[in-house]
Structure 1
């Protein structure tokens, strides 16, 4: 597969099974709800920008983003088949994502194992990120 041509394209959506398959082949599955097909379906249908990498039609990489195309692009999922990593596919998926929203600032949260990858490809580390998983954790002043 390493010598086959990789085709990069913007796609309007992905089939949930195909997305789950590449998540599992990339190790990203351990941090995604791959056992909840309806949630994965929603992730595929509601993404505003999906860039794929395919070899002979098979999905080998994906960059799934939420964006307004002019101010911010949140690259939520960057997944590349482990057997094809370290060949520039992830970097190319990021580049293609940025080319589809050139004015927008590209933002992502790194997987722990990839935290040193992003500075190597020219991305800037930012330490002012905050997460809220449960609305009940929000402390509202009374």
Structure 2
């Protein structure tokens, strides 16, 4: 991570978010900028990684700051992957919420092998009502 710097709550645009989602390979509604803007506006925690003025990574979370935190997005531009950026973003989210709060997520099938490498434990007792 030579020139990478991290920010919390730095204003980013829906277009910047769409760009990093596209470049990371994560599946999100990148053509729906109003929806992406709402995703940004409603997040409780937004950690970002920057190479100069270029957004290269994001962790976006929803939390009650008391019991649990849902890591809704963790995306790093493929050009910047395998440099510890995702791990650092998660670490910063954990520091922000504290040790008494569980950090949970739903992993993309392409990321199933990644999360155990950065400290997540797989759980079997989850359920979902999927979006339409």
Shared fold, TM over 0.5: yes
Counterpart Cα distance in 1 of 2:11 and 2:42: 8
Identify unmatched segments of 5+ residues in structure 2. Answer: none
1:46 aligns with 2:66: no
What are the ranges of 5 or more consecutive residues in structure 1 without an aligned counterpart? Answer: 136-142
Task: Tell me, yes or no, if structure 1 residue 57 matches structure 2 residue 53.
Answer: yes
Deviation string for 1:16-69 (max 9, x for gaps)?
0010000001001xx211111111110011101000000112110000010112
Count of residue pairs brought into register by the alignment:
131
In structure 1, the residue matched to 2:8 is 10
TM-score (norm 2): 0.93
Point out 4+ residue stretches in structure 1 off by more than 6 angstroms: none
Which of the two has higher C-alpha Rg?
1
Counterpart pick for 2:17 among 16, 19, 22: 19
- Going from structure 1 to structure 2, the CA distance change for 1:95 and 1:134 (only over 3 Å counts) comes to closer
How far is the alpha carbon of 1:14 from its aligned partner?
2.5
**2:126 matched to 1:129?**
yes
SS at match of 1:39: helix
Distance 2:7 2:31 in 1: 27
SS at match of 1:76: strand
Q: SS at 2:121's partner residue?
A: coil
Q: Secondary structure at the match of 1:8?
A: strand
Q: TM-score by structure 1 length?
A: 0.86
